[in-house]
Structure 1
Amino acid sequence: MAIALIATILGPDAHNIGWIIIAMVIGGLIGVRLANKVAMTEMPELVAILHSFVGLAAVLVGFNSFIAHDVFSDRIMDNIHLTEIFLGIFIGAVTFTGSIVAYGKLCGKIASKPLMLPNRHKLNLLALLISFILLFIFVKTTATGLQVFLLLMMTIIALAFDWHLVSSIGSADMPVVVSMLNSYSGWAAAAAGFMLSNDLLIVTGVLVGSSGAILSYIMCKAMNRSFISVIAGGFGTDGILVDDEHNLGNYRETTADEVAKLLKNSHSVIIAPGYGMAVAQAQYPIHDITAKLREKGINVCFAIDPVAGRLPGHMNVLLPEAKVPYDIVLELDEINDDFANIDTVLVIGENDTVNPAAQDAPNSPNSPIAPNKPNSGNARPGGLESAKCYCI
C-alpha cells in the first residue's frame, strides 16, 4: 500500500499533491487510532467497515470518471467506457451498503434477526432488472443530464438492493457475508481499475474478488448452505429443517467442578471454540486449561471449523494470540476423524455448529461439527456420539 501511494504521488500525472498528502495524513492518523483502540474481538466489525470504504471509493471514482471523461471518436469504445462507469458505481454502491449493514449487525447496532420482506426475492430480481434497463438507456443516450439522472437512480437502487440482501441474513451467517463483502470490494477495485485504465488495480481487484468468492464457497459448503443462496441474500431461514418429533439427543446441566474432574480423568480432549469464546475473551483461560492438561500428559487439540467466529480465520488468530501452540490448532478436515476416539469434547461458544440433525438431514444447516455415522454422505463428518460433549 505504501508503494502504491508513493508511486501515485510521484507519477507523471499527479496533480494537487498537497491535498493528497493531507488526505493521507488524516487517513493514517485514523488508522493508527483504530489499530490502538480496536480489540481483536472487534476485528470483524472493523473489516466490514473497511470494506465499505472500498465501495464508497469505487462510487466516487465512477462519478469522477463520468464527469472527466472525453467522448471517444469510436462509439463502441465510448459505450464500453460508459458501461465500465455504470457497473463500477453499481458494484461500489452494493459493497458500501452491504458492508454498513454487516457492521451494524456485528456490533449490535442493527437487529441480528433476518429481515424477511414479502416477495423479497422478486424485489431483488426487480432491482437488478431495472438496473440493467437503466444501463441500456445510459449507454444509448447522449444527453448528459439524462445520464447523470440515470446514474443517480441506479446508485439509489444499488444502495437499497444490498441493504436488503445483507439485512436478510442472520448474524450467525456473518462469516460468509464478510467473506462475500471482501469479494465485492475486490470487484469494486477491479471496476475502478477499468475506469482509470490501471492494469495493476485491475489485477489486484480480481485476485481479491476471486479469492473472496472461493472462500465463501468453501464456507458455504462447510455450513451445508447453497452458494447461490448467499449471493441472493436469502438463507436467513430458507431451507432450515426443524424436527420437533424426534429426540436428537439428551443433555444435562453440569458444573464447573464436574467438568474439571472429567477433563482431568480424560486421556484425550478436543476443544471446539467459537465466537462466544471471542466475545468473552476466554482464549486466555482456555490456554491455561490447555497447558495444565498437557502437563498431566493429556492430549489436547482444537477443532476449528471454517465458520467459527464472525470472520474467516478468526479463531486461528485469537488462539495463537493467547499463546496456544499452533500445532494443536487443527482445521476440521484434519481432526474430524479423531472425534470417535476422543474421551471429552469441550464446545465453547460454538453450540450452533454441533448439530445432530445433520446426521440424517442433508439440508440441515450449520453442521460443520456433527455426530455422524460412518460413510453417511451428506452429513458433515464427526463423532460426538462416542465422546462426552460439554457446551459452554
Structure 2
Amino acid sequence: MSHFLPSGIQNMLPDIIQLVYLLATGIFIIGIKRLGSPATARSGNQLAALGMFIGIVVTLFDQQIISFDYIIGGILLGSAIGAFAAKKVEMTAMPEMVAIFNGFGGGASALVAWGELSRVADPTILAGQDLVTIGLSILIGSITFTGSFIAFGKLQGFISGNPVTFSGQNFFNALLTIVSLVLVGWLAFDPANQLIFWILFGIALLLGMMTVLPIGGADMPVVISLLNSYSGLAASMAGFVINNNLLIISGALVGAAGLILTNIMCKAMNRTLGNVLFGAFGGDNSDSGGPAADTDKTVRETTAQDVALQCAYADKVVITPGYGLAVAQAQHVLKEVVDKLEKKGVEVKYGIHPVAGRMPGHMNVLLAEADVPYDQLYDMDQINPEFKSTDVVLVIGANDVVNPTAKTTKGSPIYGMPILDVDEAKRTIVFKRSLSPGFAGIDNPLFYVETNQMFFGDAKETLQDLSQALNEV
C-alpha cells in the first residue's frame, strides 16, 4: 500500500508508523487502567479495543499485503461470531466464554509463530533470538490453547470439576516442561528439522491439558486469570516473532495484569500459586448433589414472609452473592427486592468476595447486568468492618466465601482464607437449595448457628417469593 504514497511521505512512513503504534499503545494502557473499576470498565474495554484496532490498521498499512480478500473475510466472520457469542451467552456461561477466548488468543499466537517459521524457505537464516521466540510462542500459545479448553470443559460440566490425577502426575508434568524447554533450544539450534517442531507442538498441547486437569472447580477463578496471563505472554512472544512493538507491549501488559490478578485471587483464598497448580484441591460439589450435612445439628428454616418482615424493618441489609445467584439467573429479581427495600428506607449494600463465582469479577458483571449501582458494590476489605452494625445479611448462592471454618478450624483445607465476616451480623439468612457443601467439599457451620436461618429453594424462586411478600409488609 505504501508505494502509492509520495516519496517524501514514504521516507517518513517508518517514523509515522511507530508514532501511531505509540498512540495505540497509550490508548490501550488507558483502557486497561479503566478496567480496574466497574464504573469505568465498559469505556476501558472500548478504549482498549480502539487501541488494538488502530494497531491492526497500521500493521496492514505497513506490511506488503498482496490481497486483502482473506483478511477482510476473516475480520467479518470473526466479528460476527464474537457479536453473536456476546449477545447470546448467559451470565452463568461467562467464565466459559472467557476461557474460550483465552484459548483462541493462545492458539492464534502459536499459529503466528508457525506461519513465520513456515514462511522462510530456509529457516537457518533466521537469527537465534528469533527462533527462540518462535519456540516460546508455540510453547506458551499451545499450553494456553488446550489448557483453556480443558477449563471450559470443567466449567461446562462435560469434564469432571473434580481434580483428575494419577500417581506421579506432578513429576510427569515437570518432565514435560523440561522436555519442552529443551526442544525450544533444539529448535533454535536446528530449525530445519521439522520433526523437532512437531514434537514441541504436540508436547505443548499435552502439557496444557495435563496442567489444568488436576485443578479442582474451587480454583477455577485462579485458572481463568492465569490462562489470561498466558495468552498475553503468548501474544507478546508473537510480537517478537513478527517484530511488532504494539503486540509486544500489549501482550506484556495483559500478561502482567493476569499475573497480578492471579496473585490477588491466590491471596483471597490464602493459597500459593504452586498449591493451586499442584495441590489438586476442591471439587465439583453442586448444591443438590454434594455430601450430606450434619443431620444432628439444628437448622432453622424460614419463609418468604418472615424474611420480608426482618428486612423491611431493618436499618441496614447487606447482600453477599455467589455462583448460585448466577446459576439461578436471579440478579434481576434481586434488584427488584433491593428496590422495594430502599423504598422502605432500608440501606442496602452488596459485599463481593474476590473469588465469588467462577472467574474474577463474575459477581460484579452479574450485578452490573441488572443495573445495580456501582457505589453499592463493596469489596471484602470495605464491607467486613460493617457486618457488626448490619441487621440482616442475605447470603445468596455463596458458601465457602462465608464459611467461618476458615477462621476457626486449623485442620480445615480453607483455614486462613479471608472470608466475608457475615457471622458477625445480627442475623444471616442463607438462600440455598440444600445443606450440601460448596466447591471446597466441607460443611458450613454458619448454617447451624442461632443467628442464622435457611431459606431453601432455587434462588430465583425464593427471591420472587420474597419480592411478593414485601408488597404485603
Quickly name the TM-score band, shorter chain normalised: 0.7 to 0.9
Question: Whole-Å Cα distance in 2 between the matches of residues 330 and 152 of structure 1?
Answer: 49
Over the matched positions of the two proteins, sequence identity in percent amounts to 42
Decide whether the 8 Å contact of 2:269 with 2:417 is kept in 1: no
Q: What SS does the corresponding residue of 2:162 show, helix, strand or coil?
A: coil
Residues 344 and 332 of structure 1: CA distance in aligned 2, closer, same or farther (over 3 Å): same
CA distance in 2, matches of 1:204, 1:127: 29
Distance 1:329 1:140 in 2: 54
Conserved 8 A contact 1:271-1:347: yes
Distance (Å, rounded) in 1 between the aligned partners of 2:406 and 2:268: 12
**Contact 1:121–1:234, Cα closer than 8 Å, also in 2:** no
Quote the offset at 1:365 in angstroms: 5.1
Q: Does structure 1 conserve the Cα–Cα contact (< 8 Å) formed by 2:163 and 2:216?
A: yes
Q: What are the within-5 Å matches in structure 2 for residues 6-45 of structure 1?
A: 6-45=57-96
Aligned to 2:179: 130
8 A contact 1:217–1:227 mirrored in 2: yes
Aligned counterpart for 1:256 among listed residues 297, 304, 309: 304
The alpha-carbon deviation at position 235 of structure 1 amounts to 4.1
**Structure 2: distance between partners of 1:41 and 1:139:** 44
Residue 325 (structure 2) aligns with: 277
Q: CA deviation at 1:269?
A: 1.2
How far did 1:363 drift?
7.5
Of 366, 371, 391, 1:318 maps to 366
User: Deviations 1:255-289 (Å, cap 9, x if unpaired)?
Assistant: 22322222223222110001111121111111111
Q: 1:286 to 1:381 in 2, by over 3 A?
A: closer
1:388 counterpart = 2:437? no
CA spacing shift, 1:351–1:169, aligned 2, 3 Å: same
Deviations 1:128-162 (A, max 9, x none): 121122233323336x2xx3211211221111112
Structure 1 counterpart SS, 2:311: helix
Equivalence for 2:229:
183
Give the distance between the partners of 2:299 and 2:413, measured in 1 at CA: 21
Cα distance change, pair 304–366 in 1 and its aligned pair in 2 (3 A): farther
Q: Distance in 1 between matches of 2:410 and 2:59?
A: 52
Q: Distance in 1 between matches of 2:340 and 2:378?
A: 20
Shift of 1:386: 4.1
Separation in structure 2 between the aligned mates of residue 274 and residue 380 of structure 1, nearest angstrom? 13
Q: State how many pairs are aligned.
A: 370
Q: Name the amino acid aligned to 2:346.
A: I
- How far the C-alpha of 1:251 sits from its partner, in A, is 3.9
- 2 CA distance for matches of 1:217 and 1:250? 39
TM-score, normalised to structure 2, is 0.73
Contact conserved, 2:225 with 2:261, CA < 8 A, in 1? yes
| Runs of 4+ more than 6 Å apart | none
- Shift, 1:127, TM fit: 0.7
- Aligned-residue CA RMSD in angstroms? 2.6
Q: Aligned pair in 2 of structure 1 residues 316, 366: CA closer, same or farther (>3 Å)?
A: farther
- The range that moved more, 217-226 or 311-320, is 311-320
In the alignment, structure 2 segments of 5+ residues that lack a partner are: 1-51, 284-293, 432-473
Does residue 397 of structure 2 align to residue 349 of structure 1?
yes
Contact 2:99–2:224 (CA under 8 A) maintained in structure 1: yes
2:253 to 180, 204, 207: 207
Q: Look up the equivalent residue of 1:117 and give its one-letter code.
A: F
Partner Cα separation in structure 2 for residue 87 and residue 162 of structure 1: 14
Q: Give the gaps of 5 or more residues in structure 1.
A: 239-245, 368-376
Q: Report the AA paired with residue 384 of structure 1.
A: D
Structure 1 counterpart of 2:355: 307
